[in-house]
Amino acid sequence: MKIGIVGNYGNDNNGDEAILLSIIKQVTSTFNIGSEQLTVFSNNPEQTAKRYGVSSFPLYYKNGNAVKTFIKTYRLNKEIVKTFDLLIIGGGGILMDLYKREAPLYGSYAMMAKNSNTPYVIYGCGAGPLLSGLGKWFIRYMCKHAESVSVRDPESAELLREIGVKEDVQIIGDPAFSLRQEGAKKSVAPTKIGITAVPYYNAGYWPEGNPAIYNDYVEGMAKNLDNLAARHDVELTFFATKFPQDADVTKDIQQKMTHKEKISIIDDNLLPDRILEVTAQQDIIIGTRLHSLILATCTETPIMAISYHHKVNDFMKLAELEAYAFPIGDIHKQDTLFLDAFNDMKENWPETMDNTKKLSQQLYDASMAGTKQFVDAVK
């Protein structure tokens, strides 16, 4: 059996790498096959092949302009896709057109599969934003010809319905929830806090830089963390899921803090297994990146979220934790957000831990149920 996987992989985003790791584990377990029978289309094929023991080819081939790139990628990779018994498109937030590339790129793989009579599934994806007519057309095409379609949250399913997708859309959560580590937490009271940040409106990373917005965000983070550190005996540990960009932001936040002595920064490129180790060592995660929240939940670690993107809000809503989700644009307006949430969690710590454990199990079960898509598609 030969199975292909396509998504935003090999891009040094360890949230996406956690998704890939989870899908590889799910597929090899479901079909009782080795990783050498898998092919991943990647932004960095050499790294992906070495890291996971799979075959890997370029996700796309740049060729002057978007149209020529589309044609060359289709021509070269269709020859590979037609050898598969199944193609998995997902997971991650790839059903969008914010960066213009995503919808045509992943849509081209649906075309390769359809025109090669290779069954394909859309698996555990996030949808949106979808703003252009072309982007919506590609997503409708992908869903129309797929053996099955699943997304990670109700909002994504609703958006697909709004743009005209008529096929059944399952909600299975993020595939990374299958990395759950049962019984990981045993803390009596919260003292260790893990934090992730993003380069919000930083000109070196964000599509449109804005120094004033970035500075407000960094100062807001620093003040909120200082208030928490001043009133509780806590250890604050920064870590990154997108390295080195996120680690650079944490250093800017640390510089603006008064209680620097309570801060440590893990200045390393942490792969998914290591991120799981880090989140398991914390009592609470204050996460900005979505997969810092997801992997924390996998280790039964309670979470607060800084919502920089609708996908973070969607996850916190799915988890019924909206009370612990703070809009990133408001961080600088109130400096007790983290403190108030921490006090609430600490006051009800046994209940907080119990609810987190139940959430972790629930999301794991939903993620694993999604593997039925693979089996049904190849029958």
Amino acid at 238: F
**Closest to 286 measured CA to CA, from 248, 246, 233, 236:** 236
Residue 184 has what pLDDT?
63
pLDDT, tens only, 30-78: 999 999 999 999 999 999 999 999 999 999 999 888 889 999 999 999 9
* Cα separation, 46 vs 54, whole angstroms: 10
Residue 12 has what pLDDT?
87
Residue 377 has pLDDT above 80, yes or no: yes
Residue 185 has what pLDDT?
64
Give me the mean pLDDT over the 6-26 stretch.
Answer: 95
Residue 135 has what pLDDT?
93
Residue 268 has pLDDT above 90, yes or no: yes
* Residue 101 Cα distances to 5, 9, 44, 142, 308, angstroms: 18, 15, 17, 15, 21
pLDDT, tens only, 77-113: 999 999 999 999 998 999 998 777 889 999 999 999 9
**Closest to 92 measured CA to CA, from 50, 132, 40:** 40
Give me the mean pLDDT over the 261-280 stretch.
Answer: 95
Residue 203 has pLDDT above 80, yes or no: yes
Residue 250 has pLDDT above 80, yes or no: yes
- The answer to which of 108-117, 183-192, 319-328 has the lowest mean pLDDT is 183-192
Q: What is the rounded radius of gyration, in angstroms, for the C-alpha atoms of the chain?
A: 21
Percent of the chain residues past pLDDT 90, beyond the cut: 90
Residue 198 has what pLDDT?
95
pTM for this prediction: 0.92
Residue 101 has what pLDDT?
81
